[in-house]
Amino acid sequence: MPLTDPRPLLLANARLIDPEAGTDRPGGLFIEAGIIRDAGPHLTREAVPEGTEVIDCRGLVVAPGLVDMRCFVGEPGFEYRETIASASEAAAAGGVTTLVCQPATDPVIDDPALVDFLLRRARDTGIVRVHTMAAITKKLAGREMTEFGLLKAAGAVAFTDGARSVSDTLVMRRAMTYARDFDALIVHHTEDPDLVGEGVMNEGEFSTRLGLVGVPVEAEAIMLERDMRLVKLTGARYHAASITCRDSLAIIARAKTEGLPVTAGVTINHLTLNENDIGSYRTFCKVTPPLRTEDDRLALADALADGVIDVVVSDHDPQDVETKRLPFAEAAPGAVGIETMLPAALRLVHAGQLSLIQLLKALSTHPARLLGLPGGSLAAGGPADLVVIDVDEPWVLDRDTLKSKCKNSPFDEARLTGRVVKTLVAGRLVHG
């Protein structure tokens, strides 16, 4: 657990954005013992107790810290790709105050003892709040369910098989029924593995010109449609981990209209990039599910603004040089993204596709509420997990400056506008 700064602190002269309350106003924010005590225009240097540390925010945005609910951390087993220490440093640099690990480690997080190990390790080495999801099936094999009740009691915040889909429909039905009984959230990667086959990018004209095997959007839509029917059958709470195409959006919208307990997420990669960014076989843009067409990307942005999509995630997946400096078809999928999630997402705000409040809801409030975690608000009494943002600062990403152990960023050398200036966890400065 990150340390609490015992000193009272005032973030003065700020633009306070509370996505949960839907407010955007000037003022100050007062922190004491790691808790937000008050916020508003009345909070100036003269209005706080003597001895309070004051940070002049110079009109910069102060908002709740981001909650990233899809992040690969290499402990245990893949420490050469990422550790809790390096991932939390990267998170702090990206304004992420809570990160949620995926269970695809070695061994897989499918046992309560492993949940306990990871949470203890996070308390010892992390500088942000770290939680973990547990596996839906043992060893992510898609055959035998894990013990949801024991795993949830140990601290697992949701259940997922990471980047693998549970293709056996009977197993998925049983998992949803079991999850419903424990009020547990199922987070599912929706890709039919048989339709994906040997595919490495979006199926279409561009994949044909590059001579690469494509993945049709139907691989996602068919699996998602199946899951919606199982949600209707079981009543389980369900979150689609990564929606990438217009067809899937229609399925999610229909399920929400029917009142099903369904939410959906989108990765920052699919929200801001398309298949053309692969260019001349750029392996840093090889992700799973693959980047889709520009029409799909625009539809995703519209769906985020309309509330069809609830959450934006980094899908942070560090890969080392040996797995990326290969021919495109042979390279491992995955991209680092926890440090660039917010600056990349601000492209949509600057383009007028959605408001800053809408974006911050998807990056903080909605994932916090979905997982039952504190944060995502500037309300008094909440944890002082905060980010200070200069939304207009232009900069160019140099991957060598990334805090992550791996540097496989699809935004390498990209021009970005908007940057995290400071990050606070429990009132303690962890970045800036």
Domain with CATH 2.30.40.10 in the chain: 9-62+383-431
| CATH 3.20.20.140 given to domain 65-371 | yes
CA gap 168, 268 in Å, rounded: 29
- Domain(s) of CATH 3.20.20.140: residues in the chain: 65-371
CA neighbours within 13 Å on the CB side: how many for 245? 23
d(CA 212, CA 215): 10
Catalytic residue among 315, 317, 385, 390: 315
Residue 174 burial (C-beta neighbours within 10 Å; 0-12, 13-18, 19+): middle
- Concatenated DSSP letters for 322-375? HHHSS-TTTSPP-B--TTTHHHHHHHHHHTTSS-HHHHHIIIIIHHHHHHT-S-
Helix (H, G, I), strand (E, B) or coil at 7: coil
CB atoms closer than 10 angstroms to residue 387: 27
The pairing of strands 66-71 and 262-267 is unpaired
Assess whether 24 carries a catalytic annotation: no
- pLDDT tens for each residue of the chain, 432 residues long: 566 667 899 999 999 999 999 999 999 999 999 999 999 999 988 888 888 999 999 999 999 999 999 999 999 999 999 999 999 999 999 999 999 999 999 999 999 999 999 999 999 999 999 999 999 999 999 999 999 999 999 999 999 999 999 999 999 999 999 999 999 999 999 999 999 999 999 999 999 999 999 999 999 999 999 999 999 999 999 999 999 999 999 999 999 999 999 999 999 999 999 999 999 899 999 999 999 999 999 999 999 999 999 999 999 999 998 999 999 999 999 999 999 999 999 999 999 999 999 999 999 999 999 999 999 999 999 999 999 999 999 999 999 999 999 999 999 999 999 999 999 999 999 999
Does domain 9-62+383-431 sit in CATH 2.40.50.840?
no
Rounded CA-CA distance 52/295 in Å is 51
Q: Are 30 and 7 in contact (CB under 8 A)?
A: no
Is the overall model pTM greater than 0.85, yes or no? yes
First to last CA, the chain: 20
